[in-house]
Amino acid sequence: MTLSPEQLDAMLLQTLDDQRLSRKEKRALASALEPLAGDETKLAAARSQAFDLARQQFADPESKAVLSWLEDVVKLLQPRASTEQTPKPEAYFSPGDPCAQRIAQLFHRTQRQADVCVFTITDNDISEAILAAHRRGIRLRILTDDDKSGDLGSDIARFEQEGIAVRLDRSRYHMHHKFAVFDGSLLLTGSYNWTRGAAQFNEENFLLSYDPRLWQAYAQQFERLWQTFA
């Protein structure tokens, strides 16, 4: 859940009390700011808040001017997004193994977290990749359909037993999404069900996109559903 400006102010002020940022405070602040990863606009606003709070600690106008200078320099030193550096979108189609192989590869390469919102998961290759990511400390959350979670071959119960955070829709309607957001920067979405049937027989598809306008929209929808199904 993203911090409001007021909550961020309160958190920053608490760390400013002794004018040092302890390791514990760094970890707490990094965790609180994690939802902003990849959103340069919101990160810039958070940086400005921090500078404003620091500026209030100075009574000397010349010291405030030095801090303003530092803020401008920091802005110039921030990495700038480049369309040449952003990976290109990818499209995958089934039947065939490339879909499941690419999904498994994404879990193997994930660095921090993955939020998964899919109708069902029965493909063992994908499930093993999910479990491997969990065992190496990747933060995983899975939203899925309650009816399908009890199907023969479903790996949802196994995920829960392993300690992965799982929530079911618990509705007479279906949670029919098939999307995932990796490391707050990569979106996977399409018709593709994470099943062997989809890999072997079905005409399915999914695409991968690093476009922040897309993955942020899906990340917000995931958060909404995660809270709804709590």
Q: What is the pLDDT of residues 134-188, one digit of tens each?
A: 999 999 999 998 776 766 668 889 999 999 999 998 888 898 999 999 999 999 9
Task: For residue 172, count other CB atoms closer than 10 A to its CB.
Answer: 7
What is the Cα–Cα distance from 211 to 173, expressed in whole angstroms?
Answer: 30
Distances (CA, A) of 197 to 96, 221, 227: 10, 27, 31
Confidence of residue 53 (pLDDT cuts 50, 70, 90): confident
For position 2, what pLDDT does the model report? Answer: 66
Confidence of residue 81 (pLDDT cuts 50, 70, 90): low
For position 92, what pLDDT does the model report? Answer: 97
For position 82, what pLDDT does the model report? Answer: 52
What is the Cα–Cα distance from 130 to 10, expressed in whole angstroms?
Answer: 36
Q: What is the mean pLDDT of residues 38-59?
A: 78
Distances (CA, A) of 228 to 143, 169, 215, 223, 225: 11, 8, 20, 9, 5
Angle, vertex CA 25, rays to CA 24 and CA 30, nearest 5: 100
Q: Burial letters for 13-35: b for 16+ Cβ neighbours within 10 Å, e otherwise?
A: eebbeeeeeeeebeeebeebbeb
Q: Which of 26, 75, 108, 176 is an active site residue?
A: 176
Is 178 known to be catalytic? yes
What is the Cα–Cα distance from 76 to 60, expressed in whole angstroms?
Answer: 25
What is the Cα–Cα distance from 162 to 152, expressed in whole angstroms?
Answer: 19
What pTM, to 2 d.p., does this model score?
0.64
What is the Cα–Cα distance from 229 to 169, expressed in whole angstroms?
Answer: 6
Q: For all residues of the chain together, what is the average pLDDT?
A: 86
Distances (CA, A) of 216 to 85, 155, 209, 212: 19, 27, 11, 6
Q: Which of 134, 148, 177, 178 is an active site residue?
A: 178
* Parts of the chain belonging to CATH 3.30.870.10: 90-228
Q: Which of 125, 146, 147, 183 is an active site residue?
A: 183
User: Is residue 165 a contact partner of residue 141, using CB atoms and an 8 Å limit?
Assistant: yes
For position 33, what pLDDT does the model report? Answer: 82
Question: What share of the chain in percent tops pLDDT 70?
Answer: 93
User: Is residue 147 a contact partner of residue 170, using CB atoms and an 8 Å limit?
Assistant: no
CATH superfamily, region 90-228: Endonuclease Chain A (3.30.870.10)
pLDDT surpassing 90 at residue 111: yes
